[in-house]
Structure 1
Amino acid sequence: MLRRLYRRWRRGRLREPGYAGLFDEHPHELVSLDCETTSLDVSRAELLSIGAVKLRGNRILHSEALYLLVRPRSEPSGDNIAVHGLRRRDVGLGLAPEEAVRRLLDFIGGRPLIGYYLKYDVAVLDKYVKPLLGAGLPQRRIEISSRYYDYKFKQQPGAYIDLRLACLYRDLAIPAPPRHDALGDALGAAMLYLALRQRGFG
């Protein structure tokens, strides 16, 4: 009851009523989401790319995937480039962050979000979403690492559980994406989610 009231209050504070549908959960679809950024520090991080893909039932809708390059204010550093491979010339022709976020919001709608350490991605996105809408992303969130932890804990209570992404792929027999980019990681998270759901932890 309190959750519904809070959501209604947040919905009423939207600066753009056209986005009220973000609060209406889609009954049959989810969106797996990943972002690449300039820093792991949320306060300094800027978006470099966004990857998202829809899921319906047990199907990943590859044909409805979204991949956006985003033009940051500051250039990616050498260490940062080594992680995601996005250079200045790659993101220089990207979308302005506000335009990229609008496209993402239109793509997501009210669909619940899936991700690996999704809290970080949402925190970075909310830096752009809140000034735009007056509220952060309201969608329900499904954290892959938490679902995997519950799955392993039920098998081996009290045992050490390795939550590194490579370990999840290996243990759930999911092929790791060939490239570390936002869309590849979103697809990987979608496959991990389906694998966990097949084991009763979806």
Structure 2
Amino acid sequence: MRQIVLDTETTGLDPAQGHRIVELACVELMNRTITGNHLHLYVNPDRDSDPEALEVHGLTTEFLSGFPRFEEVAQQFVDFIRGSELIIHNAAFDTRFLNAELARIGLPPVESLCEKITDSLLYARELHPGKRNSLDALCDRYGISNAHRTLHGALLDSELLADVWLAMTRGQDALLMDFEEDSSAQAVANGAGQARVDVSVLRVVQPSAEELAAHEEYLALLDKAVKGESVWRRYEPVKAEAEA
């Protein structure tokens, strides 16, 4: 599974007012691993940044004037993201700018170029309702160092978001990894001389009716907290299979 963590920096807040992309970065994840393959582009917007935007990214008109315009690097961007899942923090903002840039040169919207777009901000809000879910807040929550982030930069923010996304979605993968490591250690301690355990001999403990009822009550509380369906509802088919 190929995923692209994407971020942009812009001259302002609204492409409808003529604001443009000044920096674009994409970090590749393959099967939940950061590959080191990335795309990083500075773009000449042919205009000044608003003072508020300049305070955020620090990319001056003079600096950007030496870089290509979006139409000169658009195909490079399209080729990099094609067919992948895009992961973007506050995706509506970035896709609005990307689509404005693509439409300006006669290319289709970004939604038609990739497999899907996942908004990591919406995912974080569902996972952590009522808490701050900015990139900085998520870095603090998951123990990811962002001390070197004095200004916003598309590549740095994409790299941080990639780490945050893997931490936020680790879930069952981490549990399976821990179980395998513990089982391997126990096998060595028992003199088995092999790293893997034959899972076919492990005893499966089914939940009791009382435990299932308590679980359902807890999920209902989570649904109420997020004012919708909590992320854990996605695992309900697993429970149904266990009951079958």
Which deviations, in whole Å up to 9, do the C-alpha atoms of 1:73-102 show, x marking residues without a partner?
212243322110101221111111112222
Matches within 5 A, 1:124-139: 124-137=97-110, 138=112, 139=114
Segments of structure 1 that go 5 or more residues without pairing to the other structure are: 1-27, 154-159
Normalized against structure 1, the TM-score is what?
A: 0.76
From 57, 63, 66, give the equivalent of 1:90.
63
Residues 144 and 192, structure 1, Cα contact 8 Å, conserved in 2: no
Separation in structure 2 between the aligned mates of residue 57 and residue 134 of structure 1, nearest angstrom = 29
Separation in structure 1 between the aligned mates of residue 161 and residue 147 of structure 2, nearest angstrom = 10
Normalized against structure 2, the TM-score is what?
A: 0.64
Separation in structure 2 between the aligned mates of residue 51 and residue 39 of structure 1, nearest angstrom = 17
1:71, distance to aligned residue in structure 2 (A) = 0.5
Separation in structure 2 between the aligned mates of residue 132 and residue 49 of structure 1, nearest angstrom = 18
Separation in structure 2 between the aligned mates of residue 101 and residue 114 of structure 1, nearest angstrom = 19
User: Does residue 164 in structure 1 map to residue 140 in structure 2?
Assistant: no
From 156, 159, 178, give the equivalent of 2:148.
178
Percent identity of equivalent pairs: 23
Which deviations, in whole Å up to 9, do the C-alpha atoms of 1:159-193 show, x marking residues without a partner?
x2222222111112222272320101111111111
Matches within 5 A, 1:8-23: none
Secondary structure of 1:54 counterpart: strand
Opposite residue 49 of structure 1, the aligned amino acid is: E
From 16, 19, 35, give the equivalent of 1:43.
16
**Residue matched to 1:81:** 54
Which structure would you say has the larger Rg?
2
Matches within 5 A, 1:108-147: 108-137=81-110, 138=112, 139=114, 140-147=116-123
For the structure 1 residues 77 and 149, does the alpha-carbon distance in structure 2 shift closer, same or farther, using more than 3 Å as the test?
closer
For the structure 1 residues 178 and 124, does the alpha-carbon distance in structure 2 shift closer, same or farther, using more than 3 Å as the test?
same
Residues 177 and 185, structure 1, Cα contact 8 Å, conserved in 2: no
Segments of structure 2 that go 5 or more residues without pairing to the other structure are: 173-230, 232-244
Which structure shows the higher helix fraction? 2
Separation in structure 2 between the aligned mates of residue 59 and residue 192 of structure 1, nearest angstrom = 13
From 124, 141, 159, give the equivalent of 1:148.
124
User: Does residue 191 in structure 1 map to residue 191 in structure 2?
Assistant: no
* RMSD between aligned residues: 1.8
For the structure 1 residues 47 and 147, does the alpha-carbon distance in structure 2 shift closer, same or farther, using more than 3 Å as the test?
same
Secondary structure of 2:144 counterpart: coil
Opposite residue 104 of structure 1, the aligned amino acid is: F
Structure number with higher relative contact order (C-alpha < 8 Å, ≥ 6 residues apart): 1
User: Does residue 55 in structure 1 map to residue 23 in structure 2?
Assistant: no
User: Does residue 32 in structure 1 map to residue 32 in structure 2?
Assistant: no
Residues 37 and 47, structure 1, Cα contact 8 Å, conserved in 2: yes
Q: What is the number of residues matched between the two proteins?
A: 167
